[in-house]
C-alpha cells in the first residue's frame, strides 16, 4: 500500500479556490464595502489597493486624492503633471490651478473624477472663456468650484461660463451632459477676491442669479471681499461694462460675447420696465417678483416671487459690500437656508433688517455675524424671538460697543422673564452661543443669557468687568446702602440668576475686554463667578489669567484673606525653597518653619472662600493671555484652580503667560507644580488644545 500523497488533490484545490472566491464576494456587495471604507483613512485605502489585483479593483473607486496643481517652479510643475498620468483617475480635488488653456486641457485628460477645482488668477492675468467652457463641458462630475483673483472681470468671466456652458451642452452633447438633478451637478461656488487689491472688486447679482438658475442643485454660495450690486447700480454710470470692451470681445470670441451681451441687454430692459415677451423663461418668472427696480421692503411681499433657490442651504458673505435691500431679497429667496455667515465692509444693516427675512427661513440652524465698526446692528433678544426653533448656533462678534441687549422698560424679575420665555424661542433652542462683544458685567445681557438659554452645551462670552469712574460715581453700582440711586439702574441686578443650562453646559470660555481709560474694578464679577457652581456638568473651562489674577487681588472682604494668606505664602515658600538649595545650613529650620507656617495658614484660609467656586466636574482648564497685558503665571494662580476643581486632569497655559522666553519659565513652573501636586495626576501643558489637533 502506498502512503497517501502530500500534494493536494484537484478537488481540495478547487474547494479552497471556491472558498477564497466566496470570501471575496462579500466585498463585492457595495453596502458592505462602503461600511468598511467609512472607517478607513485615505492612507488605509491606498494600503488596501496594494494587497492584490482584486482589492485594487474594489478599493480604487474609494480613493480620493487632493493636490496643489500650480507651482512657480517649472521643475516641480513638470513632476506633478507626470504623476497625474498615473494617479489622475483618483484625484478628487485640485487647488491653485491657473486657468490657462494648457493646464485645463491637462486636467481634462488625466482627472476624469475631479469633484473640486480651485482656480487662482494672479494680477494682470485673465480667464480664457473658451478654454473654461470646454473644461466645464468635459468635467461631468465637478461639484465644487472656487476662484481667487485680483480682478472683478475674472469673476464675471467665470459666472458667464457657468451660466452658458450647460446651454451649449444641451444643444451639442445631450447624451453626455448631466441633468439638473444629477448627483454630480454643481453644488458649491466660492468666489474670493484679493482684499488688498487696489480696486475693490464688483460682482453683479444678475450674473450670480443666472448661475443659480442654470444649476438648481446649488446648495452653497460663498462671496468674499467684493461689492455685490445690481446690474444698473454702477458707481460710475459713464463707465462701459467690461463685457462690451473691444479687447475682451477679441479674446473671448464674437459669438460667445454676443450671447452674453444679449442676456445683459434683456436684463437691462427688464429692469427698466421693458417687454416680457423677449425674455427667456427664467428671467420672465423673475420679473414677476419685482427683483429689479422695485425691490420689496417687506419679507411677506418677497415670498410672492415664484422663483426660489430651493436647494440653497449655505450662504457666506465675507467682507462684502451690499445694500440692505439686496441682501434681504437674496435671503428671502432661500427658503431652505440653514447656515448664514455675514461680514460686511462699507455697509450698514439696521435692526429692522432681521424681521424682513427671518420668518421666511424656517430651517435656519446657524447664524454667524461679524460687525466691523458697528456695521451690523442687532437686537439679540428680538432676533432670538423671530428665529425658528431649529436655530442651534448663534455667533456675534463686534469690535465696537453696541446696544445688543436693550434695557426693558418694565424691568421684569428673573422669574417673570422665565415665564415669558416659555411661549417664545428667546434662545432656548441654542446649543452653541458665542458673543464676543464685551458685555459689561452690569448690563442685562449676562442675566438674559443665564435665564433664557437653557439648552446650551458650549458658550463663549466676552465680558467687561471694569466700569468708567464717571458711571460708578453716577450711581451705576448702586448707593452705599445697596439700593440703586438712579432710574437707569432700576433693571440692573444686584445678583445674578441661576443658570438655566446648568445640566447641559459642558464648555465655557470667558474672554475679557478692557477699555483704555481709567477704570474701576466692578465687584459684581465675584457674584457672577460664584454662580458658576450651578454648572453641574461643566467639563471644559477657559478663562484669561488676567481675570483670575484680578479676582484674587481684589479687596473683596470674602476673598482678601485668602489672597493675603495662602496665596502669598506660596510665593514665600518658593523663595525659601530656593534659599534652601543654596544654603544647606538653614535647611532644617526652613523646612520646619515652612511646614508649621503652612498648617497655620491653611487653618486661617478655612475662614475664607476661594475666588472660584467648587466645580468638581471640570476636567480641563485653558488659561489664555488677554491682549497686551504683560502678566506671568505663578504658582498661586494654579493653586486657585487646584483648590476649586477637584476633578481637574489637565491645565493648558498660553505661551504668552511665560514671558518672552517661555520654555525655561514653564519648566521651572512645571517642576514646582509637580513637587506640590504630583500625586493628583494633573498634567500641566504649554500651549492650547488646538495645537494638538
Nearest in space to 355 (alpha carbons), one of 317, 390, 381: 381
Least confident of 232-236, 292-296, 445-449, 640-644: 292-296
CB atoms within 10 A of CB 43: 8
pTM exceeds 0.85, yes or no: no
pLDDT at 351 over 70: yes
CB environment 161-180: b (16+ within 10 A), e (fewer) = bbbbbbebbeeeeeeebbee
Q: Which three cell numbers stand for residue 95?
A: 487647488
Cell of 223: 462671496
- Give the other-Cβ count within 10 Å of 668's Cβ: 12
pLDDT value for 585 = 41
Nearest to 528 by CA among 467, 636, 613: 613
Among 255-264, 283-292, 455-464, the minimum mean pLDDT is found in: 283-292
Residue 495 DSSP label: S
pLDDT in tens, 126-180: 888 888 989 998 888 899 999 998 888 888 889 989 988 754 444 434 444 444 4
Closest residue by Cα to residue 554 from 579, 522, 598, 593: 522
Across 589-608, average pLDDT:
47
Measured CA to CA in angstroms, residue 112 lies from 65, 108, 118, 180, 508 at distances of 13, 7, 16, 19, 47
Query: Which pLDDT score is estimated for 74?
Result: 82
Cα end-to-end distance, the chain, whole Å: 71
DSSP code string of 277-291: TTS-HHHHHHHHTT-
Count of C-beta atoms within a 10 Å radius of residue 263? 19
pLDDT surpassing 90 at residue 615: yes
CA neighbours within 13 Å on the CB side: how many for 537? 11
* Torsion angles phi and psi, residue 534, rounded to 5: -75, -20
pLDDT value of position 692: 56
In angstroms, the Cα distances linking 574 to 562, 579, 623, 651 are 18, 9, 22, 21
User: How far is residue 583's CA from residue 580's CA, in Å, rounded to a whole number?
Assistant: 5
The partner residues of 457 in beta bridges, in order of sequence, read none
For residues 347 and 349, give the distance between their C-alpha atoms in angstroms, rounded to a whole number.
7
Burial class (CB in 10 A: 0-12, 13-18, 19+), 117: buried
Rounded Cα distance between 289 and 618, Å, is: 54
Q: Quick: pLDDT tens for 249-286.
A: 444 555 555 555 555 555 544 444 443 334 444 444 44
Place of cell 460664584: 530
Residue 104 to residue 101: CA distance in whole angstroms: 5
- Which cell goes with 502? 446648568
**Residue 309, SS3 per DSSP:** coil
Q: Quote the CA–CA distance of 596 and 252 in Å, as a whole number.
A: 89
Query: Cell digits for 555?
Result: 479687596
Tens of pLDDT, residue by residue over 675-687, are 989 999 999 999 9
pLDDT in tens, 52-109: 777 777 777 777 788 888 667 788 888 888 888 888 888 889 998 988 898 899 899 9
- Could you tell me which of 119, 125, 86 has the C-alpha nearest to residue 104? 119
Cell of 173: 452633447
Please write the tens of the pLDDT for every residue from 16-33: 444 444 445 656 676 677
Q: Which secondary structure element, helix H or strand E, spans residue 95, and what is its range?
A: strand 91-97
The least confident of 94-103, 375-384, 628-637, 678-687 is 628-637
Q: How far is CA 151 from CA 121, 196, 230, 574, in A?
A: 8, 11, 18, 62
Amino acid at each position: 500500500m502506498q502512503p497517501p500523497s502530500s500534494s493536494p488533490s484537484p478537488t481540495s484545490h478547487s474547494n479552497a479556490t471556491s472558498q477564497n472566491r466566496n470570501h471575496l464576494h462579500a466585498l463585492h456587495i457595495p453596502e458592505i464595502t462602503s461600511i468598511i471604507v467609512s472607517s478607513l483613512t485615505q492612507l488605509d485605502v491606498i494600503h488596501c489597493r496594494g494587497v492584490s489585483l482584486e482589492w485594487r479593483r474594489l478599493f480604487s473607486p474609494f480613493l480620493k486624492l487632493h493636490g496643489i496643481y500650480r507651482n512657480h517652479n517649472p521643475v516641480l510643475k513638470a513632476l506633478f503633471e507626470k504623476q497625474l498620468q498615473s494617479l489622475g483617475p483618483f484625484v478628487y480635488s485640485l487647488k491653485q490651478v491657473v486657468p490657462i488653456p494648457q493646464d485645463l486641457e491637462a486636467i481634462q485628460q488625466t482627472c476624469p473624477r475631479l469633484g473640486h477645482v480651485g482656480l487662482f488668477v494672479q494680477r494682470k492675468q485673465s480667464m480664457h472663456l473658451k478654454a473654461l467652457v470646454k473644461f466645464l463641458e468635459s468635467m461631468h462630475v465637478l461639484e465644487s468650484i472656487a476662484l481667487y483673483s485680483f480682478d472683478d472681470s475674472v469673476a464675471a468671466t467665470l459666472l458667464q461660463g457657468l451660466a452658458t456652458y450647460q446651454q451649449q451642452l444641451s444643444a451639442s452633447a445631450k447624451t453626455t451632459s448631466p441633468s439638473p438633478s444629477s448627483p454630480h451637478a454643481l453644488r458649491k461656488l466660492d468666489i474670493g477676491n484679493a482684499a488688498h487689491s487696489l480696486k475693490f472688486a464688483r460682482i453683479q447679482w444678475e450674473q450670480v442669479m443666472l448661475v443659480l438658475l442654470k444649476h438648481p442643485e446649488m446648495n452653497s454660495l460663498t462671496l468674499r471681499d467684493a461689492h455685490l450690486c445690481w446690474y444698473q447700480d454702477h458707481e460710475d454710470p459713464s463707465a462701459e461694462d467690461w463685457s462690451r470692451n473691444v479687447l475682451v470681445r477679441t479674446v473671448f470670441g464674437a459669438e460667445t460675447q454676443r450671447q452674453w451681451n444679449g442676456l445683459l441687454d434683456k436684463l437691462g430692459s427688464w429692469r427698466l420696465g421693458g417687454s416680457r415677451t423677449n425674455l427667456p423663461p427664467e428671467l420672465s418668472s423673475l420679473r414677476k417678483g419685482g427683483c429689479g427696480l422695485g425691490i420689496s421692503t417687506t419679507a411677506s411681499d418677497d415670498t410672492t416671487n415664484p422663483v426660489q433657490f430651493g436647494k440653497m442651504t449655505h450662504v457666506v458673505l465675507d467682507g462684502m459690500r451690499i445694500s440692505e435691500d439686496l441682501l434681504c431679497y437674496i435671503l428671502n429667496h432661500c427658503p431652505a437656508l440653514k447656515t448664514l455667515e455675514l461680514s460686511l465692509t462699507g455697509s450698514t444693516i439696521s435692526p429692522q433688517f432681521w424681521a424682513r427675512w427671518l420668518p421666511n427661513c424656517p430651517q435656519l440652524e446657524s447664524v454667524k455675524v461679524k460687525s466691523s465698526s458697528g456695521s451690523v446692528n442687532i437686537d439679540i433678544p428680538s432676533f432670538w424671538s423671530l428665529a425658528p426653533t431649529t436655530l442651534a448656533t448663534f455667533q456675534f462678534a463686534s469690535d465696537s460697543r453696541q446696544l445688543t441687549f436693550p434695557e426693558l422698560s418694565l424691568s421684569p424679575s428673573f422669574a417673570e422673564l422665565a415665564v415669558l420665555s416659555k411661549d417664545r424661542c428667546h434662545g432656548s433652542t441654542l446649543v452653541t452661543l458665542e458673543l464676543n462683544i464685551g458685555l459689561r458685567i452690569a448690563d442685562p445681557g449676562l442675566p438674559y443669557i443665564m435665564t433664557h438659554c437653557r439648552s446650551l452645551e458650549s458658550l463663549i462670552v466676552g465680558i467687561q468687568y471694569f466700569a468708567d469712574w464717571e458711571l460708578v460715581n453716577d450711581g451705576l453700582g448702586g448707593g452705599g446702602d445697596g439700593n440703586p440711586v438712579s432710574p437707569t439702574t432700576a433693571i440692573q441686578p444686584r445678583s445674578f440668576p441661576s443658570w438655566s443650562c446648568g445640566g447641559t453646559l459642558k464648555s465655557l470660555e470667558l474672554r475679557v475686554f478692557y477699555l483704555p481709560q481709567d477704570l474701576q474694578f466692578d465687584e459684581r464679577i465675584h457674584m457672577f463667578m460664584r454662580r458658576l457652581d450651578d454648572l453641574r456638568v461643566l467639563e471644559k473651562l477657559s478663562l484669561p489669567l488676567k481675570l483670575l489674577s484680578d479676582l484674587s487681588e481684589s479687596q473683596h472682604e470674602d476673598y482678601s484673606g485668602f489672597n493675603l494668606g495662602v496665596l502669598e505664602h506660596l510665593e514665600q515658600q518658593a523663595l525659601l525653597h530656593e534659599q534652601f538649595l543654596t544654603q544647606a545650613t538653614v535647611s532644617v529650620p526652613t523646612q520646619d518653619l515652612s511646614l508649621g507656617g503652612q498648617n497655620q495658614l491653611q487653618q486661617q484660609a478655612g475662614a475664607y472662600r476661594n475666588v472660584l467656586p467648587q466645580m468638581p466636574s471640570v476636567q480641563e482648564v485653558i488659561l489664555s493671555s488677554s491682549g497686551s497685558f504683560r502678566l506671568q503665571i505663578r504658582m498661586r494662580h494654579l493653586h486657585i484652580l487646584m483648590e476649586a476643581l477637584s476633578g481637574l486632569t489637565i491645565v493648558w497655559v498660553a505661551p504668552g503667560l511665560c514671558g518672552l522666553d517661555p520654555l525655561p519659565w514653564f519648566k521651572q513652573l512645571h517642576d514646582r507644580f509637580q513637587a506640590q501636586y504630583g500625586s493628583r495626576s494633573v498634567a500641566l501643558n504649554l500651549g492650547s488644545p488646538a495645537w494638538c489637533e
